[in-house]
Amino acid sequence: MELYIQFEFESIKMVAKQTSFTKLERLYGFYFYDLTHPEDDEHFPDAIVKEGAAHFNYWGSIMTDRPIEQVEHLGQYYIADWALNLDDEEAPAPNEDFVNCTQFYTYDFYVSGVENEENIKFHRVDNLLDLIEPYEYSTQELTMDRTWNMPNKNTFEIHSIKDLLKEELTGGLIIDPFANNNSFAHMTNDLNTKYETDFHMDALEFLKLFADESVDVVLFDPPYSPRQVKEAYESIGLDTQGGRLTRASYWSNLKKEITRILRVGGKAISCGWNSGGMNNKDVFHINRIRLVAHGGNHNDTIATVSVKTKRIENIYVVEQAKVKNNQDYKQLSLW
């Protein structure tokens, strides 16, 4: 069983463990650092260094939702001092500037050296997603720009799209129902099992896993046409469920689920051949549109950044009123 340590350092939430983070665990954090230990003491880390910098005296890993500025600027930060212990021997001791650093001792080693065990904060993290705090994105005046890049069937590898994601993904829980081999999200899904995603489900079923208003960002980069959907399914030996997955209603249902699970202030970043975004101006405000031209006969790739501005229930009440006051209004729909 892996033991994790949760603590705060300079108001930065951190998780540490005495081994490296796995590829799956790495989907749940934004910044990673290595912990080193002195050559002759393997129980206590003495410095935080940039990831990959600890080759010979590696102790473990730190994951944070914000960068550790001292390490980013100086390359390392010492968290232990050397001092004489009760046996008049030099040994590592906690640096007073480093909050709770005594928690980094292995449990048995730590208990053997202290009388009061009440402050020991070792944890087993059952759900690393719980460590990601909600993040509220604000609406902004619509901006549009146009760039040029070589075409790429993997949208998020197009330079201009990748740059946009780096600028727009600034916090919160991020999910991707059509992830392919991308790792911008904390939770990923792709129907094709050749990609190392968290789930391999139909995108609609994946979105239904999330509770109402529980997600901060949805990356929405589905196949752009019925032909692409058909090719995607048939390439892995599946069919389109009698054509259901190529109908407009299926894509509307996907966007309804995205609207349901996004928090108010949540963001949907959609890519396609149009700038419709979530197609619901009553609930979403479009902050940004980027057109990426590819030249020749290639269609542009269009990225739309939309922010959810109100809860669905409010819109539902409005739609009910429309139905009640207009007998000719036959369909109750968010779209």
Tens of pLDDT along 89-144? 776 665 555 544 444 555 455 455 444 544 444 444 445 566 678 899 999 999 99
Q: Of 3.40.220.10, 1.10.10.10, 3.30.460.10, 3.40.50.150, which CATH number belongs to 143-325?
A: 3.40.50.150
* pLDDT at residue 254 greater than cutoff 70: yes
Token pair for 85:
């212990």
Average pLDDT, the chain: 77
Query: Is residue 306 within 8 Å of residue 276, measured between CB atoms?
Result: no
The single-letter DSSP state of residue 241 is T
Does the pLDDT value for residue 247 go beyond 70?
A: no
Length of the chain: 335
DSSP single-letter state for residue 199:
B
What is the band of 250 on the pLDDT scale with cuts at 50, 70, 90? confident
What are the distances in angstroms from CA 109 to CA 89, 116, 147? 17, 14, 57
Mean pLDDT to the nearest integer, 228-243? 61
The tally of CA atoms less than 13 A away on the side-chain side of residue 260 is 14
- CA 215-279-328 angle, to 5 degrees, is 120
More confident residue, 112 or 298: 298
Q: Which of 15, 55, 61 is nearest to 34 (CA)?
A: 61
> Would the pTM count as exceeding 0.85?
no
User: What does the domain layout of the chain look like in residue ranges?
Assistant: 4-131, 143-325
- The average pLDDT across 167-195 equals 88
> Residue 332: its pLDDT value, please?
28
Distance CA(217)–CA(31), nearest Å, equals 18
Q: For the segment 35-88, what is each residue's pLDDT rounded down to a tens digit?
A: 888 777 666 778 899 988 888 888 888 888 788 888 999 998 887 766 666 677
Kindly indicate the confidence band of residue 233, based on its pLDDT and cuts at 50, 70 and 90: low
Cα distance between residue 61 and residue 312, in whole Å: 41
Q: Is 301 exposed, middle or buried (0-12, 13-18, 19+ CB in 10 A)?
A: buried
